[in-house]
Amino acid sequence: MNQTNEERIKNLLENFNKESLQPLWTLEHDIMPFKPKPQSVAWLWKWDKLYELAEEAGEVITLDRGGDRRAIALANPGLGGMPFATETLWMAVQWLNGHEVAPAHRHTPQAIRFIVDGAGSYSTVEGDRVYLEKGDLVLNPPLLWHDHGSDSDERAIWIDGLDIPLTKYLNANFFEPMGKDVQEVDTVKNFSVLKYGAGTMKPAWEREKPKYPPMSTFKWSRTEQALNDLASSGDSSPYDDIALEYVNPLTGDPVMKTFSCWIQMIRPGVHTKAHREVCSTVYFVFEGSGYSIIDGVKFEWQKGDLFIIPNWKCHEHVNPTGERAILFSINDRPTMDLLDKYREEAYTENEGHQKVNATFDPSKK
Ligand code: GTQ
Ligand code: FE2
C-alpha cells in the first residue's frame, strides 16, 4: 500500500533519530537564532552575603595539601547549576587565612586575581613572588606554576577570574599539582613588578615581545593614577565613562588571550548611554555605589557586589552619588575578536537610555 507523504515524513524523522541524525528544518532557530540568546542571565551577588559565607568557609574548610583553593564560584542561575558566571567566564571569591598556604599547581585555564584585601599575602607565579595589595591585578597565564601564601595573621580575600567554562567546552583542560606546597623563590620580592611594572618603559637590553605581560601584577597606585589622568584628559567613553583596559605593555594586547580586564570610573552624576555587545562581562564594584540598567532591569550595586551582563543585553551605568564609583570587570571580548564574532549596537531610542521596567529581585531565580 502506498504511504502518504505525511507518513513518509514521520517515518523519515524516526529514522533520522535512530541513526543519530537531526535535520536542520526541524531545529527552527534554536541553533541559528536571529540574534544571540544567552542562557546566562543578568544577576547580582551582594558582598555582605559573599563575605559572610567566605568567612564561614575560612573557619570550617581546610586547604587540602596537593590540591585546592578556598574559592567560591558564582553560579549563574541561568546555567542550570553549573558553577559558571557566564558561558565562558569563571568568577570566584577566594579566602586565604593568615599564614595559610594554597599549594602550587598549574593549569591551562588563564587566570587573574583582583585583590580586595591582600593583608600581607602573596602569590608566587612561576618563581616570581608578588605581594598582594588592595586593587592590584595579578596575572596567571596558562601553565605557570602558582601558589598563594600569607606572612600575616590576617586573612586575605580576592576575586579570581578564569576561562574555565570555555576551556571545558573546548576540552582543553590540563591540571597538574606541583607535589610541593610552595615554589622556591630566588629573586627579590615583587621581582617582575620592579623590573617591568613601569609599563611604558622596559629594560633596554630585552627585545622580546612576550605573549603575556612580563609583570605578574598591575599595582593599584599606577592604575588609580591612570584613571585620574584619563579623567583629566577630558575624553571618555559614552558607554563606559572613564574606562581602561589592562594590556600587555609590550604588545598592546589584552592581558589574557580569552578574556580581558577593565577598570573604570563612573564619575559622580554620570549616566552612560546604553549599548549591547557580543561578549559577556562580570563586574566587581571596587568602590562607591550606583546602578546599572540591564535589559530594562535596574541592578543597584554597592562596594563589593558582583554582577553579570550577559551577551547582547543592553546596558548602561549610573552613578547618582557625589563620590566616584570604580568598577573592575572581566569580559570575553578577546575571544569574540579572535574568532571574528564581535558586534556592538548602540541603543538609540529615548536618547540612549532604557526605560526601567523592574528592579532586580534575587528571590526570582
Ligand atoms: O587560585 O589557583 O578560583 O586554580 C579557580 C581555580 C582559583 C587558583 C580559582 C584556581 C584558582
Ligand atoms: Fe590555579
| Distance (Å) from CA 107 to ligand 2 centroid | 6
Q: Which residues line ligand 1 (CB under 6 A)?
A: 69, 71, 92, 94, 107, 146, 160, 162
Reported residue count of the chain is 365
What does the pLDDT average to over 82-91? 98
What does the pLDDT average to over 279-301? 98
Spatial distance between the Cα atoms of 96 and 99, rounded to a whole number of angstroms: 8
Asked whether 204 and 198 are in contact (CB, 8 A), the reply is no
Mutate to test the pocket of ligand 1, among 90, 146, 162, 168 (most ligand atoms within 8 A of CB): 162
Largest Cα separation within the chain, whole Å, is 88
Query: Does the pLDDT at position 66 exceed 60?
Result: no
Which pairing describes strands 146-150 and 137-140: parallel, antiparallel, or unpaired? Answer: unpaired
Query: Does the pLDDT at position 247 exceed 90?
Result: yes
Query: Does the pLDDT at position 173 exceed 60?
Result: yes
Residue 288 pLDDT: 98
Task: Pick the atom of ligand 1 nearest to 107's CA.
Answer: 4
pLDDT interval class at 326 (50, 70, 90): very high
Spatial distance between the Cα atoms of 323 and 276, rounded to a whole number of angstroms: 27
Query: Does the pLDDT at position 65 exceed 70?
Result: no
Which pairing describes strands 325-331 and 281-287: parallel, antiparallel, or unpaired? Answer: antiparallel
Q: Which three cell numbers stand for residue 345?
A: 549596537
Phi (first) and psi of residue 109, to 5 degrees: -60, 140
Query: Does the pLDDT at position 302 exceed 90?
Result: yes
Among 59-68, 131-140, 155-164, the minimum mean pLDDT is found in 59-68
Residue 365 pLDDT: 78
What does the pLDDT average to over 231-248? 98
Spatial distance between the Cα atoms of 102 and 120, rounded to a whole number of angstroms: 14
Residue 199 pLDDT: 93
* Protein residue closest via CA to atom 11 of ligand 1: 69
Query: Does the pLDDT at position 1 exceed 70?
Result: no
Query: Does the pLDDT at position 64 exceed 90?
Result: no
Query: Does the pLDDT at position 263 exceed 90?
Result: yes
Residue 269 pLDDT: 98
* Protein residue closest via CA to atom 8 of ligand 1: 69
Residue 67 pLDDT: 59
Residue 28 pLDDT: 83
| Distance (Å) from CA 232 to ligand 2 centroid | 38
Query: Does the pLDDT at position 233 exceed 60?
Result: yes
Asked whether 164 and 221 are in contact (CB, 8 A), the reply is no
Give me the percent of the chain exceeding a pLDDT of 70. 99
For 43-359, CATH gives 2.60.120.10
| Distance (Å) from CA 160 to ligand 2 centroid | 9
SS3 11: helix
Q: Residue 361, class by beta-carbon neighbours within 10 Å (0-12 exposed, 13-18 middle, 19+ buried)?
A: exposed
